[in-house]
Structure 1
Amino acid sequence: MPVHPSASLRSAVTSRLRAAGCVFAEDEARILLSAATTPAELAAMVRDRAAGRPLEHVAGWAEFAGLRIAVDPGVFVPRRRSEFLARRASALVRADALVVDLCCGTGALGAALAATAGHRVRLYASDLDPAAVRCARRNLAATGAEVSEGDLFAALPAALRGRVDVLIANVPYVPTADLALLPAEARLHEARPALDGGADGLDVLRRVAADAPHWLAPGGALLFETSDQQAGAALGVATAAGLTAALAHDDDLEATVVTATRPSGATARR
C-alpha cells in the first residue's frame, strides 16, 4: 500500500525534488508517494531521485502508451516519443500477425502493440542486455511472448526467417561522440549499448536492415525510430537493403519513424 500523502508530506517531497532541479517536481512527488510503501522507502526514493537517478528507476516503472511498464535499474527507460513508433507499427498488425521486437529493452513497444491490436498477435522479443530481458519477460508475460537474450536476429528461432509480418527495432542511434551530451540520467544510469549507435549513429541500424529482408515475410515491414538529422541517411540504409522506405513524423512527440517494407514479389538478397 502507498504511503498516505498528507498535504505537508506532499509539499515537503515536492520542495526537496524542486531544490534538486526536478522540473516536474509536483508530478514526480505524486509518483514517488504512490510507489513507496513505507516512510523509510519514500525517504530513500526521494534521496535517490534528488541524487540524479532516473525517476523510472527509482519508482520501478514508467508510463508508456497508457501502460505501466516495469523498469529495473540500469535498463533503458522507454521514451514517450516512442509511442509514435508503437502506433505506426500497430496500424500494420493484422489478426494473428507474427511480430518481432528487436532491441526490446523493457518490452514496452511489444506490450503496447499487444494492448492495442484488438486481436491475437504472435510476439517475439529479444535484447542483448540480460537485465532488459528480465524486465521484458515480466512486462510481456500476459501476452504469451517469447523473449530471448542475444544479439539481434541471432536470439530468434530460425523458424521465423521469412515469416515476420512486423519487425520493430528501436535501435540505439546516438552517435558515439554525442553520448557525452546526453542528460546525466541517461548517460550515467542507462546501459551504454542501448544508447550508442556508433560513429554516425547508424551502425546497429545497418546490421538490422541488412538482415531484415531475410526475416520479413513478403510485404512485411521493418519500423524504426531515428532523429531528424539522420532521417535521410537512415532511409538510404533501408533502401540499400532492398526495402521500400517511407518517413513519418509526429510534431507533438518530436518523433521520426521509418517504415521499410519488403516488396511482395521480392527475393531477399544473399
Structure 2
Amino acid sequence: MATETQPPVPISITICGDGGCGKSSITLRLVHSQWTSDYDPTIEDSYSVTRRIDGVTYHLSLTDTAGQEEYRGMWASSNLGADAFLLVYDITSLDSLDALQHFNELIDMEAETRLDNADRALRAGLKPGHHDTSYGGGRRAKTAPPVKLVAGNKCDLQESRQVPAAKGLEWARKRGCGFMETSARLEVNIEETFALIVRRVMEGRRLADMGLNENTDLNARGQTKPLTPLPTDADPEKRAPGVRGPNLNGDRVGKPDGGFWKKLRCW
C-alpha cells in the first residue's frame, strides 16, 4: 500500500548584510548553482528552492535583501517575519562585519515581539506553537523566535582576509548566532549552511510547540560547532581530524603550537 506523500515543509529565510558581501552570490549558488563576479546591487529579490534534508523535503523561500545603506529603509515588515536570517559579511572587509550589527538589532527586536506574542497567547489560554497563532481580536502572529546564522563569505580570498575566523565566530556567539565560513565562488559550505538553518528552524519549532520559548537560552541554541577544516595545500587529502575550531583567546587550533591555524583556509 503506497504511503501518502507529505507536502514540503515551508521555511522562509531572509538574507541580509552589507552591499558587496556576496549575498546574491550565495543565493544564486544554492538556487541555480551559478556564480558571477559581476556586482549588481540588489534592492530585493525572491527565490524558492526545494531541498531534502534528513529525509524530509523542505520548500525554502529566500529573500535576498538590499545591503547598501541608502536602501535599508526599504526593508518590508515581511522580511522580518522570516523563520530564519542569514547574516552575511565579507572576510576581506572588517566594515562588512560591523554592518551586521544594524540587521542584528532589527532581528532581535522581532524576536522580542515573538516572545511577547507567545506570552500573550499563553495568558489567553492558547498553545503558542510555531505557526501563526490567533489571539486577541483575531490577529495572527508568529511566536517562535527567528534563527540567526552568520556567514563569513569569500573564504577563498585568504590573502586578502581582514576578519579572522575566530573574530567572526566570537561576534556570532555573543549575539546568539550560528556561524559558518563560505565561498560562493568555490561552492564551499553553501548547501551545508542552509541545511544547518533548516535544522535550527525545525528545532525551534519543536521547542515552540512544547511551549519552551521563554525557558530556552537563545544564545545556546544559536551556537554551532565549527566545520572540519578544508584540506591543506601541503596535504590535500587530509582533513586534520579532531580539530574543532579556534581558541578564542588566541589564534590557536588543536595543537599548542598553533601551526595548523596558520594554514587554515575555512572551517
TM-score normalised to structure 1 length: 0.29
Larger RCO (CA under 8 A, 6+ residues apart)? 2
Between Structure 1 and Structure 2, the one with more helix by share is 1
TM-score normalised to structure 2 length: 0.29
